[in-house]
Chain A
Amino acid sequence: MNLQETYTSLGLSDFEYDRILELLGRAPNYLELSLFSVMWSEHCGYKNSRPLLRRFPNSGLRVLQGPGENAGVVEVGEGWALAFKVESHNHPSAVEPYEGAATGVGGIIRDILAMGARPVALLDSLRFGPLGEERNRYLFREVVRGIGGYGNAVGVPTVGGEVEFAGAYSGNPLVNAMCVGLIRTEDLVRSRATGEGNLVVLLGSKTGRDGIHGATFASDELTEESESKRSNVQVGDPFAEKMLIECCLKLLDESLLVSLQDLGAAGIASSASEMAAKGGVGIEVDAERVPLRETGMEPYEVVISESQERMLAVVEPDKVGRVLGLAERYGLVGAVIGRVTDHGELRVKNGGETVGSVPAEYLADAPVYEREVVRPAYLDEARSSDPEDYPQPDDYNLVLKKMLAHPNLCSRRSIFQQYDHQVGVDTVILPGADAAVMRIKGTNLGFAVTTDGRGRHCYLDPRGGGAATVAEAYRNLSCVGAEPVAITNCLNFGSPEKTEGYYQLAECIEGMAQACEAFGTPIVSGNASLYNETEAGAVYPTPVVGMVGVLEDVSRYATPGFKREGDMVVVIGSGSRVSLAGSDYLEVVHGRVAGEPPEPNLDAEKKIADLVREMVRSGLVDTAHDISGGGEFVAAAKMALAGGLGIEYMEGEFERRLAGQGRGRADVALFGEEHGAFLVAVPWERWAELRDALGGDVGHYRTGTVGGDSVKVGDVIDVKLSELREAYERDLFGAPGGAEVTH
């Protein structure tokens, strides 16, 4: 292999190689080139997304730690704080789904641990190709098994998440894992290395050859050859991770660490250089002192190995004995592998001999590419199609059942029952509601967390879809009764080197940023996963938002299920346009993703969500659900199914919708989608109170009554709950196609 082939195979461009020559003033050796390769990959260096990410607001009253650390941290109250982050593991999961997903969970847990927090909740945002294809079923089944296999064993409950299926994700699934950790504000730790002469200690598992160049692999498009990169995928050991969690928390509890950093992409090289760059110091590591699980490893392999379940700590020399002793108590490998120096370089030694040395700041400073934002041609074509050109169905009972049975709308029970969602005894609202709610022991406080993504919407309208993604998360938290506080995000996009991909990235970010500003919810951590493409094309642009919120009184919350016969069901809406464009109906019934989706009105969204939250917090409302995919009647049917009680719409209500939002079309009236709308249910005698709480200028109307054992809407829909349940509660891992609804 000649020189150019070597750096190209490591994912570095000619321009980047020249930049390295210029920075170092000499040619790098293979080890040094490997360091640049991983640290300047998109995964570690954000070289395409960094200029765009500056658009995100990231400060706020509750923010204790914004972007730049292992996780963002926000204050909850009474001395408690939450550390949280979402991260992708898309490419590893595409070639080795079980381990890819498992190590995604393991990696995000260590990010939270690195802040000093105890990991207390996990969520997963997943996308796959349609389940009709064997390969997609395999990926889906194994990813879910991997998440459960790791999360269940490590003892952190998986309390929420979401999943969708679309052709755009065939061959390139999205696997985003989010973790939330709980910490006392005074116990926060940082990853900044300080104190010349302090020692660098590696804790956890032994180091092997797994995951060599994994970060580089994650920053490239997937091709037929990707199969051969299976060995780039790491293997997880949740047992070691569990011991690592308990050991690190104990070390921090006894104030034995100066700083802490997890080892993820690019292993020791990445962690050590980040710790050094942040602290403005140098770090020397000796590859020979790293405990290995296989023989014959080259020094460069040792320092970029992505072996899992390892952490790097900076320790004062007189405390090293106690640190190593505790590591042994927890059955972990603990080894002093280097020290903090004043030369500002990441220096790798092998025995006494220096085998590579690069200023840490160069590694931490990947080149930045700013590109022109050009509107791609596909948008006009996709948006020009009129969803109302299609014929209307004649049996809406069948359509409702079909919608509820569709993998994008049906019950997620067959997934979340494979996850332990209660270990830790803090889960107040179990999976299946709008957001998970967790309590904080010893207080009345709680927090809520949700993940949301709207790939189809972002494909048809990147800016509106980006804003709507944040709005959906804001609604989900509000309707359980939580005050939204801050956001983590994972930007899943196609190649930024293509017009389409870069435009989608830039516009989604703009939409998200506008929504974050309107809602007062800063982005405090995140991750970008670009190059989600196969030979068949890019995935839908899918920014995933993980939002956390606070409940001052965790006993005051709402869930979607109807609770009492006779309750009045009320629609509260922002008056947004109602349309089938980009709707679930259009995809389920007509197999199309097209049209101009309604644009969210962010001020109206906020106002209504805030009102709903106040009604939940005051105890007026205990039954609430946001209207999202599938529209209002799908939302109402889900509330009926969750509570085991039917709903009857009032006389004339369907006709009113038909004439109003439906513009004469029953399909639009029933399954059109909108923004900023909720369904709540209250006892009739509290109607006046509800009306007062809403005030005069918020759109709302009584729409139906809870009761009976069916869903009835005028003379267009009348289906027994038992029939709907059969469609809705399908096993997503069952036969291909599952419960195909035909009658």
Chain B
Amino acid sequence: MGGGGVRLGVTIFPGSNCDRDALYAVERMGAEPVELWHADADLKGSDAVIVPGGFSYGDYLRPGAIARFAKVMAALEDFARSGGPVLGVCNGFQVLTEAHLLPGALLRNAGMRFVCRRVRVRVEATETPWTSSCEPGEELTLPVAHNEGNYFADPVTLEQIEADDRVVLRYLENPNGSANDIAGVCNEDRNVVGIMPHPERASDPALGSEEGIRVLRSILAEARV
């Protein structure tokens, strides 16, 4: 499956550490990787944007709390609000909730420890640009690695996102105490998705799994439309 010249931006904040992995996965997908430096309010013509994992600004104050004020985020927010596809992975998910592009918040893991392992998840919603190549109900094994992945939202919001089918991924084995086993959600317009698992870490047969790159490849079909 070729990328057909799709430009996929990856934001780089100080302290991002999955940016290079995301760029590598984009390259493997056959799309064109575009580095988006935090201090430039410019998405450089990206067709879609990934906000990668890591510890942006050292996770100081609160994960994602400082990154949301970076210059690139102003451009990203405009892009997202006008329907541009955005995927936040791990710390990227935290950044997107802090920026109020996604509902809820990610709290400290229930076990109070960093957790790095592979988990089983189910694809609950395929009507998003980031999961459209998956089958509804499909089960995937994806790596997680986080200290704050415990999804929280107030009961009304939770009910709303469940009712709207906005839970994108759900843990089959909850590693962090997330409400309703939520591993990923999307916004009302469904173009912005945040997930805790790392699809870019399951994107290479040399590392034993390509279940992640299958998720990421959804965007190629979407972005061409």
Contact = CB atoms under 8 A, between A and B. Distances in A.
A391 B116 CA distance: 44
B206 A239 contact: no
Interface stretch (A351-359, A420-428, A470-478): A420-428
B168 to A, nearest CB: 22
B211 to A, nearest CB: 14
Contacts of B147: 152
A428 to B, nearest CB: 6
Contact of B116 (A237, A417, A426): A417
Contact of B14 (A148, A331, A424): A331
B114 A419 contact: yes
A425 B204 contact: yes
B223 interface: no
Interface string A322-357: 000000011100000000000000000000000000
Given A422-B198, A423-B21, A441-B24, A239 B116 contact: no
Contact of B17 (A153, A237, A439): A153
B145 A424 contact: no
Given A424-B21, A554-B206, A152 B145 contact: yes
11 contacts: A152-B147, A238-B58, A243-B14, A243-B15, A418-B113, A423-B21, A424-B21, A426-B207, A428-B207, A439-B207, A441-B24
Interface string A226-247: 0000000000011110110000
Interface in B97-123: 113-117
A427 B116 CA distance: 13
Contact of B24 (A330, A425, A555): A425
Interface string B134-173: 0000000001010100000000000000000000000000
B130 interface: no
Nearest to A141: B113
Contact of A237 (B18, B58, B117): B58
B206 A418 contact: no
Given A243-B14, A416-B116, A417-B115, 18 more contacts: A153-B58, A153-B59, A154-B17, A155-B17, A155-B18, A155-B55, A239-B15, A330-B14, A418-B114, A419-B114, A422-B116, A422-B143, A422-B207, A423-B17, A423-B145, A424-B20, A427-B207, A439-B206
A36 B20 CA distance: 43
Closest A-B pairs by Cβ, 9 of them: A155-B17, A239-B58, A153-B55, A420-B145, A425-B21, A418-B114, A422-B201, A420-B116, A148-B114
Contacts of A154: 17
Interface residues of A, number: 33
A428 B21 contact: no
B57 interface: yes
Contacts of B113: 417-418, 733
Interface of A: 148-149, 152-155, 237-240, 242-243, 329-331, 416-428, 439, 441, 554-555, 733
A441 B25 CA distance: 12
B17 A418 contact: no
A424 to B, nearest CB: 7
A365 B147 CA distance: 46
A420 B114 contact: yes
Given A153-B59, A417-B115, A419-B116, A242 B17 contact: yes
Nearest to B175: A417
B46 interface: no
Contacts of A148: 114
A418 B18 CA distance: 17
B128 interface: no
Q: Interface centre among A237, A239, A240, A554, by most B CB within 10 Å?
A: A239
Nearest to B12: A246
B69 interface: no
Contacts of B200: 425
A420 B55 CA distance: 12
Contacts of A416: 116
Contacts of A238: 55, 58
Given A238-B58, A420-B145, A425 B116 contact: no
Interface in B18-60: 18, 20-21, 24-25, 39, 53-55, 57-60
A422 B145 contact: yes
A429 B163 CA distance: 41
Nearest to A441: B24
Nearest to A153: B55
Contacts of A418: 113-116
Given A420-B114, A423-B145, A441-B24, A428 B14 contact: no
B20 to A, nearest CB: 8
Contacts of A331: 14
B76 to A, nearest CB: 20
Nearest to A444: B206
Contacts of B178: none
Interface in B177-225: 198, 200-201, 203-204, 206-208
Contacts of B143: 422
Nearest to B208: A428
B15 A153 contact: yes
Contacts of B204: 425
Contacts of A421: 116
Q: Interface centre among B114, B147, B201, B203, by most A CB within 10 Å?
A: B114
Contacts of B15: 153, 239, 242-243
Contact of B206 (A149, A237, A420, A555): A555
A427 B118 CA distance: 13
B201 A425 contact: yes
Nearest to A414: B113
A154 B115 CA distance: 16
Contacts of A237: 58
A428 B206 contact: yes
A330 B57 CA distance: 11
A84 to B, nearest CB: 21
Contacts of B117: 417
A30 B145 CA distance: 49
A554 B200 CA distance: 20
Contacts of B198: 422
Nearest to B55: A153
Contacts of B59: 153, 239
Contacts of A155: 17-18, 54-55
A331 to B, nearest CB: 5
Interface in B54-110: 54-55, 57-60
A420 B54 CA distance: 11
Nearest to B37: A329
B60 A239 contact: yes
A713 B200 CA distance: 44
B174 to A, nearest CB: 15
Contacts of B203: 425
A250 to B, nearest CB: 12
A421 B60 CA distance: 22
B57 A239 contact: yes
Contacts of A422: 116, 143, 145, 198, 201, 207
Nearest to B203: A425
Contacts of A555: 206
Contacts of B201: 422-423, 425
Nearest to A425: B21
B176 to A, nearest CB: 12
A733 B21 CA distance: 31
A370 B23 CA distance: 55
Nearest to A422: B201
Contacts of B39: 329
Contacts of A153: 15, 17, 55, 58-59
Contacts of B17: 153-155, 242, 423
B112 to A, nearest CB: 10
Contacts of B58: 153, 237-240
Contacts of B18: 155, 423
Contacts of A427: 207
B134 to A, nearest CB: 21
